[in-house]
Structures are given as C-alpha cells and as structure tokens.
Amino acid sequence: MNLFFVTFAVFMLVMVAMAVGVIVNNRAIKGSCGGLNDIDGLKGACDICEGKKVCDRRRQMERKALTK
C-alpha cells in the first residue's frame, strides 16, 4: 500500500511541475500538426472545427501542391 502512495505522489508532483511550467512560460497548450493530418491525400478534418477552419500551414501546402 505504501508503494501505491509513493507512486501516486510522484505522478502528482510531475503533473504539478508540468502545469507550473506551462503557467510560468505563459504558453497555450496546443495540439500537434502530426498524426493522420500529415498523410498526403487525406484532408484530416479536426474533430473540433470539422474542417471549416483551415490553418495557414495547410493553405501554403495546398498552394504548393497546385503549382506543381
């Protein structure tokens, strides 16, 4: 049982340290550009915006693809 409490405390300390790091650096938490969205040929609509909002990076990639 003591091992459980020690492990739980370590995990909590790590989570608190990460939260303090985000707060101190004043940066927003954001998703990555990786995953299925990076595969050529897939539009990879986001679950949040459902593909209605196109980021600048995707616009630039689509312009380059059209000029080739």
Going from N- to C-terminal start, the domains of the chain cover 2-28+43-67
Owner of token pair 């990639």: 61
pLDDT the model gives residue 64: 83
Owner of token pair 């650096």: 25
pLDDT the model gives residue 67: 80
Percent of the chain with pLDDT over 90: 26
Select the more confidently predicted residue: 20 or 44: 20
- Measure the CA–CA gap between 45 and 53, rounded to whole angstroms: 9
Q: Residue 36 above 60 pLDDT? A: no
pLDDT the model gives residue 23: 86
9-34: average pLDDT: 83
| Alpha-carbon distance values, 68 to 7, 49, 57, 64 (Å) | 54, 29, 17, 6
Owner of token pair 């059209």: 66
Instruction: Write down the mean pLDDT value for the chain.
Output: 74
